[in-house]
């Protein structure tokens, strides 16, 4: 199915294990209509495709566009994607998605061409085209959350590697004697700096009897600590929380320095919920990068926070389509 290159709008979509979000985007990158639906991840492919179509149709209904005004859909999907084939080879969130065709069933329901990409890569493209990486020739993105995702954009194009499973910078080894990661190896950046690792590090310090305001903030139940709570306590001068943020920034900084040394980017963009901690996290990241990145590679490279927040995925999906029609 061909893209309508004269269309005024495209649709960006972001598929998650809980929800799918869609947005109608104009040629200036403005979101002019949105739709959301539950993704029904455990109910099978047909149910999820129906929900994707529901979110897309709702976004169109909430916009000045009709489906005839839409050039196509670009969607980020968690897991490994064969983008040219429209297939999902594996996804951690969806039952039985092993080499399934996803793009064509969506086309069958909504009637416009549909492109797929890995969600972290698509979000990185969104930041590169519309956000913190605008104008970059080589941009690396780290997304900090329940895991650590990453994306690499070179000359405006997503880089995915030989079999579209790269890059996985969250699984770079930053401490060979570190804790076991969900991937089965030890000392991955993700094992040391994702959400639960940060919480565990703070809780262990508190369990050693160190005084910390995290006890009061969690109603004396350390199971309920969150990274946002740790960041808040650190901003108020809590020593345990400050130390936790500095350690986290150190590990992320090692991962960033490795990326800078290998790829020589002009921008490293750091996003995700944990990055909302601001300078409490970015100061130790930048200090660590300054010490560990090679001098020549570091020249002209900025380490900056992401700008688009939750819109990165849908705007990245939109950018995938714009690249096809412009």
Q: Report, as an integer, the average pLDDT of 16-37.
A: 97
The predicted structure's pLDDT at residue 166? 86
Tell me the pLDDT band of 155, cut-offs 50, 70 and 90.
very high
The predicted structure's pLDDT at residue 119? 95
- Reduced to 3 states (helix: H, G, I; strand: E, B; else coil), residue 293 is coil
Percent of the chain whose pLDDT exceeds 70:
100
Tens of pLDDT, residues 172-230: 999 999 999 999 999 999 999 999 999 999 999 999 999 999 999 999 999 899 999 99
* Spatial separation of the C-alpha atoms in residues 106 and 317, rounded to whole Å: 15
Fold of 135-307: Nucleotidyltransferase; domain 5 (3.30.420)
Residue spans of the domains in the chain: they are 9-126+311-325, 135-307
287, 247 Cβ separation under 8 angstroms = no
pLDDT at 92 over 90: no
* Spatial separation of the C-alpha atoms in residues 51 and 21, rounded to whole Å: 10
Using CB atoms within 10 A of its CB, is residue 191 exposed (0-12), middle (13-18) or buried (19+)?
buried
Fold of 9-126+311-325: Nucleotidyltransferase; domain 5 (3.30.420)
- Element holding 109 (H helix, E strand): helix 103-110
Tens of pLDDT, residues 290-299: 999 999 999 9
- Reduced to 3 states (helix: H, G, I; strand: E, B; else coil), residue 319 is helix
* Spatial separation of the C-alpha atoms in residues 165 and 217, rounded to whole Å: 40
* Spatial separation of the C-alpha atoms in residues 213 and 217, rounded to whole Å: 6
CATH topology identical between 9-126+311-325 and 135-307:
yes
- Element holding 136 (H helix, E strand): none
pLDDT at 169 over 90: yes
Query: What's the predicted TM-score (pTM) here?
Result: 0.95
pLDDT at 96 over 90: no
Tens of pLDDT, residues 248-259: 999 999 999 999
pLDDT at 1 over 80: no
The predicted structure's pLDDT at residue 256? 98
285, 303 Cβ separation under 8 angstroms = yes
- Reduced to 3 states (helix: H, G, I; strand: E, B; else coil), residue 173 is strand
The predicted structure's pLDDT at residue 171? 96
What six digits make up the tokens of 119? 């969600």
Please provide the average confidence, as pLDDT, over all residues in the chain: 96
What ranges make up the beta strands (E) of the chain? 9-15, 19-26, 31-38, 70-77, 80-82, 87-90, 100-101, 114-118, 138-144, 148-154, 157-158, 267-271, 302-305
116, 109 Cβ separation under 8 angstroms = no
Q: Which residue has the tokens 């895991």?
A: 147
The predicted structure's pLDDT at residue 228? 95
Tell me the pLDDT band of 2, cut-offs 50, 70 and 90.
confident
Tell me the pLDDT band of 38, cut-offs 50, 70 and 90.
very high
Checking DSSP bridges between strand 70-77 and strand 31-38, what pairing results, if any?
unpaired
Beta carbons within 8 Å of 206's beta carbon, 6+ residues apart: 212, 214, 215, 222, 240
């Amino acid at each position: 199915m061909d893209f309508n290159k004269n269309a005024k709008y495209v649709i960006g979509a972001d598929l998650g294990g809980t929800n799918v979000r869609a947005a109608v985007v104009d040629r200036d990158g403005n979101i002019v209509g949105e739709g959301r639906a539950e993704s029904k991840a455990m109910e099978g492919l047909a149910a999820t495709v129906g929900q994707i179509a529901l979110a897309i149709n709702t976004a169109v209904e909430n916009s000045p566009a009709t489906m005839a005004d839409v050039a196509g859909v670009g969607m980020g999907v968690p897991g490994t994607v064969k983008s040219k084939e429209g297939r999902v080879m594996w996804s951690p969130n969806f039952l039985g998605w092993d080499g399934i065709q996803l793009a064509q069933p969506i086309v069958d329901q909504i009637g416009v061409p549909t492109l797929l990409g890995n969600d972290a890569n698509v979000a990185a493209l969104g930041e590169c085209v519309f956000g913190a990486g605008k104008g970059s020739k080589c941009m690396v993105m780290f997304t900090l959350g329940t895991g650590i995702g990453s994306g690499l954009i070179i000359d405006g194009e997503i880089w995915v590697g030989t079999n579209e499973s790269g890059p996985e910078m969250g699984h770079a080894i930053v401490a060979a004697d570190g804790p076991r990661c969900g991937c089965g190896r030890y000392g991955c950046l993700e094992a040391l700096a994702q959400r639960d690792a940060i919480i565990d590090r703070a809780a262990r310090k508190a369990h050693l009897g160190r005084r910390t305001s995290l006890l009061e903030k969690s109603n004396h139940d350390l199971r309920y600590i969150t990274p946002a709570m740790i960041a808040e306590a650190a901003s108020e001068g809590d020593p345990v929380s400050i130390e936790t943020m500095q350690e986290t920034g150190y590990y992320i900084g090692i991962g960033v320095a490795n990326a800078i040394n290998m790829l020589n980017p002009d921008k490293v963009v750091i996003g995700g919920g944990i990055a909302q901690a601001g300078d409490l996290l970015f100061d130790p990241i930048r200090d660590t990068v300054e010490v560990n990145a090679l001098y020549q590679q570091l020249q002209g490279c900025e380490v900056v926070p992401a700008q688009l927040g939750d819109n990165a995925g849908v705007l990245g999906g939109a950018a995938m389509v714009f690249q096809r029609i412009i």
